Amino acid sequence: MAKRVVDVLVPVALDQAYSYRVPEGLELAPGDLVTVPLGARMATGVAWADNPKSNPRLDNRMRDIEEKLDIPPLKPELRKFIDWVSAYTLSPRGTVLRMALRMGEHLGPARERIGVRLAGGAPKRMTAARERVLALLADGLAHGKRDIAQEAGVSSGVIDGLIDEGTLETLVLPPEPVARAPDADFSLPDFTPAQRGAADALCETVASGGYGVTLLDGVTGAGKTRVYFEAIADVIRGGKQALVLVPEIALTTQFLDRFAERFGVRPAEWHSQLSQRL
């Protein structure tokens, strides 16, 4: 019986996906991240689609998928978006995929986020540092171990000591969100009549759905960004998301600050100069 064949898209400057055989026993679905042989090296790729029309005569030349990575798969909406961006910008799909994937250093199982909470009585020996930790955990809820140490101004050793004595217990917390939810009504703008008219027209265009382009013409400081923010606010109120493109990385910090002033939080940030820490 012939092995199942899938097309795998790799994050290199190529448009076509490569066909690979799926080893027996490997459960694989479109969107799963995999490791595949690519020339003389191993590469990370995404199972894009099944290929039922592969040529059986080439089966002996086809290579097997090496492994499936323990990483959340790419959702169908994201894969469709990658195909659309590739077609719209005339860019290779692999190049667009590279921008959508996390940095190579982060391709691996998600790091566990360790939390702590109260579990027993007071420790035998109380110190000022321990008192600060216990005061922060007095609500009985689980908090991130690193967060508590930072907020209490203590080293991780102080918390480890309380764990060893049974005063605290550890547990695995859900991963932190990439960004907190913005508040569309956090800081409502005081528009001039002209700005309000432009904002209302833009919001109506966005609400109508479909693709469109709206250009605001105005001098520096005229409030164009605040007008665009109103369209974003309407999108957020509708339970959806907005993607904001900044023309150059140097403007990122300024934009993030402006966004936080309007919506109360910074949005998720993504560009090629993010450090590995982020």
Backbone angles phi, psi at 61, to 5 degrees: -95, -10
Are 132 and 72 part of one and the same domain? no
Task: Please list the pLDDT of the chain residue by residue as tens digits (278 residues).
Answer: 568 899 999 998 999 999 999 998 899 999 999 999 998 888 899 999 988 766 555 566 789 999 999 888 999 999 999 999 999 999 999 999 988 886 554 455 556 789 999 998 889 999 999 999 999 999 999 999 999 999 999 999 999 999 999 999 999 998 777 788 999 999 999 999 999 999 999 999 999 988 888 999 989 888 999 999 999 999 999 999 999 999 898 999 999 999 999 999 999 888 777 765 44
Q: Which two tokens stand for residue 199?
A: 């904002």
Whether residue 128 sits in one domain with residue 56: no
- Angle at CA 12, nearest 5°, toward 276 and 91? 110
Same domain, 43 and 64: yes
- Please check whether residue 100 is in contact with residue 152, taking contact to mean a CB–CB distance below 8 angstroms: no
Q: Do 56 and 147 reside in the same domain of the chain?
A: no
- Residues 14 and 87 both lie in one domain: yes
Residues 88 and 132 in one domain: no
Looking at the 3D structure of the chain, how many domains does it have?
3
> Is the domain of 234 the same as that of 246?
yes
Q: Are 165 and 181 part of one and the same domain?
A: no
Domain that holds residue 144: 113-173
Q: 11: domain CATH number?
A: 3.40.1440.60
